[in-house]
Amino acid sequence: MKRIIIAATLLSLLLAAPVMAHFQMVYTPQSALAKAGSIDLKLVFTHPFEAGHTMDMGQPEQFFVVHKGKKADLLSTLKPVVWTSLTNSGAAYEASFKLRGMGDNVFCLVPSPYFEKEEDSFIQQITKVVVNTGGFPTDWDAPVGLPAEILPLDKPYALWTGNVFRGVVLSEGKPVPNAKIEVEYLNHAPLMDKNAFAKTAAVEAPQDAFVTMTIKANAAGEFVFGIPRTGWWGFCALGVGPAKAFKGKALSQDAVIWIQARDMK
Amino acid sequence: MKPIVSAILFMAIVCAVPAAAHTPLCACYNNGDDTVTCEGGFSDGSSAAGVQMRVEDASGKMLIKGKMDANSEFNFKKPDGTYRVIFDAGEGHVIEIDGKDILE
């Protein structure tokens, strides 16, 4: 009898495990800088709300920045690092970049497809983050031309807590009606020196539906999200890219964007 | 009729300087070869092309005078000693940048 109870308890624990979403992060501490200078970026494929299981990234296909309409290849600047989550560690990358002058710097990562054993399929999350210097807007609202892309309608670096963030989900430049979008809060501060997540969580989710929130785009592919808390928020439009298979298995080509909100104080 | 023409003219003049309604922005950096590049613009993303630029010494004496070019940039040879850069887009739209804050 005891064994059955233990088994039942274990099973219920397993079933109760939060539904977490994979999120490709391109992280830097500050998205809106007063002046240009060097910034550090960390590329981590993880579960940001729980600072949970961090997947091993392969050699990225592309990593570049767009500034004033010009694209600069940064692939050769990537250095492999090991990122420590609360439950494991995984292969990740870091980069340093010297920002110049004023304007938007749209960092774009096209990672190599990741094989998810549990689902017997591949995931490729094409990720954007915008870093601005001096408050001068230049590139944030122009599509980069990625196969899967979230085009912001609000500056992703100039948001107060309580603002809304709006975006359009694009597949090869065309809006994706009713796209499914996962939203997750970066709940554990990334420790830049340690290549690890802080152990302390900022918030606690009352229930699983709050860990990875799922929202839908409207018929025009647009979505709106009210930002309830300061910090970084990730948006991931699932399977919107044109590529549907990789190495003979299903591929979900997702579009990710990260935004940063600040408290009014 | 005349007041209408004047009003239209006035409107045209006002509309021709849309950037003036927005916050001016200017940033300068040292190119590392004794030259400095300043970039200008306005908070709505509009260009600062044609905006008056001045470089002055500590006493306010003008050392260099010029304009933001078509790319909204202004390049000059870094003066010896203390200097400051003035981005002058008209009253209420002036930015002063201290030379000691202009780094590589």
Contact assessment for residue A170 and residue A241, using Cβ atoms and an 8 Å cutoff: no
Chain segment A161-204, per-residue pLDDT in tens: 999 999 999 999 999 999 999 999 999 999 999 999 999 999 99
CATH of the domain at A68: 2.60.40.10
Pairing of the two strands A190-191 and A196-197 = antiparallel
Number of domains in chain B: 1
Q: Which domain holds residue A185?
A: 34-262
Banded pLDDT at A16 (limits 50, 70, 90): very low
Q: Which amino acid is at B51?
A: V
Number of domains in chain A: 1
Residue A27 belongs to a domain = no
The nearest alpha carbon in chain A to B73 belongs to A101
Q: Which domain holds residue B78?
A: 2-101
Residue B31 is predicted with a pLDDT of: 92
* Residue A35 at interface with chain B, using a CB cutoff of 8 Å: yes
Q: Is the pLDDT of residue B17 over 80?
A: no
A34 in helix, strand or coil?
coil
Residue A133: CB atoms within 10 A of its CB come to 25
User: Which DSSP category does A7 fall into?
Assistant: H
Q: How many angstroms away from the CA of B38 is the closest CA of chain A?
A: 8
With 0-12 / 13-18 / 19 or more C-beta atoms within 10 angstroms meaning exposed / middle / buried, residue A234 is buried
Residue A14 belongs to a domain = no
The rounded distance, in Å, linking the Cα atoms of B55 and B65 is: 6
Q: Is the pLDDT of residue B3 over 50?
A: yes
Check CB contact under 8 Å for A135 and B25: yes
Q: Percent of chain A scored above 90 by pLDDT?
A: 90
B10 backbone dihedrals φ, ψ, rounded to 5°? -60, -45
Instruction: Report the helix count and the strand count for chain A, using DSSP H and E.
Output: 1, 23
Q: Which residues of B touch A133 (CB under 8 A)?
A: 27
CATH of the domain at B10: 2.60.40
Q: Is the pLDDT of residue A134 over 80?
A: yes
Residue A20 belongs to a domain = no
Residue A206 belongs to a domain = yes
Residue A11 belongs to a domain = no
pTM of the model: 0.87
